[in-house]
Amino acid sequence: MSETKQLLDRTVAAIRPLDAEAVDAAQARLDSLTKPPGSLGKLEDIAKQTAGITGEIGADLSKRAVVVMAGDHGVCAEGVSAFPSEVTPQMVLNFLAGGAAVNVLARQAGADVVCVDVGVATAIEHPSLVQRKVRPGTDNIAQGPAMSREEALEAIAVGIETAVELAAQGYGMLATGEMGIGNTTPSAALCAAMTAMTAEQAVGLGTGIDATRRRHKVDVVERALAVNAPNADDPLDALAKVGGLEIAALTGVILGAAAHRLPVVVDGFISSAAALVASRIAPASVPYMIGSHLSQEQGHGQLLKAIGLSPMIHLDMRLGEGTGAVLGFHIVDAAQRLVREMATFESAGVSKG
Ligand SMILES: Cc1cc2ncn([C@H]3O[C@H](COP(=O)(O)O)[C@@H](O)[C@H]3O)c2cc1C
Ligand SMILES: O=C(O)c1cccnc1
């Protein structure tokens, strides 16, 4: 067995269920606070979930990072995006210079941005870029597989190792982000390959294509499925045949975070495609995932449901990069502070119903 497969198997085996005692203790604490039971809604769910993940009520999750995985897509040759592939390395340099939307939101949320080249088509030189290129872009999924199964495993390994390193550096919470022109196409193909969604339901406007180009994108996804015949019951097969390098790496980040008991906030459509693959490789990873926002990309709602996640915020965003996930950090912070700082009925002398 390859080393990358062994790493994946070890990682999956290390994912434990949430700490049920900590979840119960968080529930008891929430019920003791000065509010009607359950009245903080999803914030209470998040406080319980983070307690189950960390084993602690209201854990300090202030050291956090968004991992932006970057990769290119051979399927761009089919004209599926409103932008050219050159934008991928250009945006990577923008992330490294601190000028992208995700950088601004990360600064506001006190998060570090970790940018990894796992598969950009051209070489990028920058001292802060994590150089982990598995190959320079995928092949065109409309004509054959995106990559080999071993390359998909290598990209997953990059993600696992990134999460492991961040856990070792003391990061308490991660978010997923990505950059890769064309990547809503393989994401839609993964939805159609692995869930009940049709290509028609899974394909959206991405960076802003028109209805005619969207029709063509649906055809491209249908062709990718016909040419590659991905096995719906083998997530690695689907990932290798119709996925992408940054998507595979994010699958690894999520599995690595779960294995190290770190909450991982999942961004929009592309990150959720990675989360779908993670959920099929290791169903036990799902309780470590926190859904962030509902993307405008049309398949996102159904995709989140297929994983078992629900979005915290609805801001009509459709950017990716990790922007929605980083905004989600603020909501997680709110949940943690409430469970830590609110007075109890007893301490405040408030009568219980
Ligand atoms: C300037 C710019 C910045 C971005 N940041 C994220 N994306 C987003 O758009 C791409 C996916 O859409 P499609 O599949 O239509 O190409 C990904 O790179 C995603 O991260 C961007 C796209 C552009 C153009
Ligand atoms: O939801 C996303 O992640 C998304 C949607 C459109 C374009 N880029 C990213």
Q: Does residue 270 line the site of ligand 2, with CB under 6 A?
A: yes
- The ligand that comes nearest to the alpha carbon of residue 71 is 1
Q: SS3 for 326?
A: helix
Of 245, 144, 131, nearest to 187 by C-alpha is 245
Report the C-alpha gap between 224 and 89 in whole angstroms: 25
Task: State the residue for tokens 């203790």.
Answer: 25
Catalytic residues: 321
Beta strands per DSSP E along 160-231: 173-179
Protein residue closest via CA to atom 9 of ligand 2? 320
pLDDT of residue 325: 99
- Atom 22 of ligand 1 has which residue's CA nearest to it? 207
Q: Is 220 in the pocket of ligand 1 (CB under 6 A)?
A: no
Helix 235-242 to helix 149-168 angle (10° resolution) is 100
User: pLDDT tens, position by position, for the chain (353 residues)?
Assistant: 899 999 999 999 999 999 999 999 999 999 999 999 999 999 999 999 999 999 999 999 999 999 999 999 999 999 999 999 999 999 999 999 999 999 999 999 999 999 999 999 999 999 999 999 999 999 999 999 999 999 999 999 999 999 999 999 999 999 999 999 999 999 999 999 999 999 999 999 999 999 999 999 999 999 999 999 999 999 999 999 999 999 999 999 999 999 999 999 999 999 999 999 999 999 999 999 999 999 999 999 999 999 999 999 999 999 999 999 999 999 999 999 999 999 999 999 999 98
CB-CB contact of 319 with 301 (8 Å): no
142: tokens are 């409309």
pTM exceeding 0.80? yes
Ligand nearest the Cα of residue 324 is 2
What is the C-alpha separation between 183 and 226, in angstroms, rounded?
A: 19
Residue type, 24: D
Q: Which of 91, 270, 321 to mutate to test the pocket of ligand 2 (most atoms within 8 A of CB)?
A: 270
